Amino acid sequence: MNENNPIITQLYTEKPFNLRMESELSKPIYRRIAITIVLIFFFIVIAGPIINIISNVIDNVYEIRQRLFLDEILGDAQWIDVQEALWESFSIAFIAVLIDMVIGFPIAIVLTRCHFPGRKTPRYDSRSPNGGAYFCTGILNYDLLGIISDYTW
């Protein structure tokens, strides 16, 4: 190899592409751009709908009060239906969390920490016990629904 050739010297002294990209994207301007994009995404996708719902409730509080509490025909029947739906939703969520904690987390910990044959067979997120817990709880619920009722696919 000719050490005096400038093209060969440049090839060996130039940084690889990924290192050049990393050093370029590490500049403060790109960090500010990334933070701005994340904040815009947060406000559009997460905070925007919440602010919209709250502002609609505040704007229509009289109509909501009339329909839920002071209806001439139904009285407060709609409010009672809303309370029943909320109670059922929260109780189902509570039961799902309990099942996940009691069954899912121990299975997830065993799957992520212990080594045994066939451990890598299920494709799940093994980086955190939480991902494995959801996977295990989902499989367990699917199996239970298949045994108990006709709600399986």
| Phi, psi for residue 152 in degrees, rounded to 5 | -90, 165
Helix orientation angle between 61-68 and 77-99, rounded to the nearest 10 degrees = 90
Total-model pTM = 0.41
Q: Which amino acid is at 6?
A: P
pLDDT score for 58: 92
pLDDT of residue 152: 46
- Residue 145's pLDDT is what? 56
Query: What's residue 55's pLDDT?
Result: 94
| Domain limits, the chain | 1-59, 74-153
Task: Identify which of 125, 126, 104 has the alpha carbon closest to the alpha carbon of residue 115.
Answer: 126
Q: DSSP assignment, residue 50?
A: H
Q: What is the pLDDT of residue 119?
A: 66
pLDDT digit string (tens) for 30-49?
A: 889 989 999 999 989 989 99
* Mean pLDDT along residues 47-65: 91
State the residue for tokens 């409010």. Answer: 79
Segment 17-35 mean pLDDT: 85
pLDDT digits (tens, 9 = 90+) for 72-89: 887 778 888 888 999 998
**For position 17, what pLDDT does the model report?**
76
Whole-Å CA distances, 29 to 15, 21, 34, 97, 152: 22, 14, 9, 43, 52
| Residues 103-121 pLDDT 10s | 888 887 887 788 777 666 6
- 4-14: pLDDT as tens digits: 666 666 556 67
* pLDDT value at residue 65: 83
What band does 122 get if pLDDT is binned at 50, 70 and 90?
low
Residue 37: per-residue pLDDT = 93
